Amino acid sequence: MRESGILQHIEWYGWALTWLLALAALLARYPLVASGFAIGGALSVLHFKWLALFLKAVVTPGKRQYSRIKKVVLAAYLGKYLIICGAVYLLFRYEVVDPLGFLGGLSVIFLGICIAGIQHSMHADERQG
């Protein structure tokens, strides 16, 4: 399994866990918790994806020589954090999400990394054994 394959698995697990948790909260009749899972999970997975794109843009040898590109990418990266902070503030200010549901949604990437890591290690054991 290549690194890009692992990243795709992590992203897929993140989306799957996000919608599974949101659906479970909706079925349990907790709409604010469900919205917290959905929005927190979406932010978490999108941030993971943006982080991978950012690192590729900065680390790619062909783009290293252009310092202007690095500055634009860095400014966009910092701007993303400002947008996320503003969005989180508005979500809590207007009580659109439950804080614990939102925190649970933010944790889906961590769980996705754990699941993909376990899956990758099991496949590595099969290849060696």
The tens digit of pLDDT for each residue in 12-44 reads: 999 999 999 999 999 999 999 999 999 999 999
The tens digit of pLDDT for each residue in 39-64 reads: 999 999 999 998 888 777 777 766 55
d(CA 36, CA 42): 10
pLDDT-based confidence at residue 106 (cuts at 50, 70, 90): very high
Alpha helices in the chain (DSSP H): 3-27, 31-59, 61-64, 67-93, 99-106, 108-128
Contact predicate 115/52, CB 8 Å: no
Q: Return the pLDDT at 98.
A: 96
pLDDT-based confidence at residue 1 (cuts at 50, 70, 90): very low
**Burial label, 61 (beta-carbon count in 10 A; 0-12, 13-18, 19+):** exposed
d(CA 120, CA 129): 14
The tens digit of pLDDT for each residue in 107-127 reads: 999 999 999 999 988 887 677
Q: Return the pLDDT at 12.
A: 96
d(CA 90, CA 74): 25
Write down the residue that tokens 């804080």 correspond to.
Answer: 99
Contact predicate 73/58, CB 8 Å: yes
Q: Return the pLDDT at 36.
A: 97
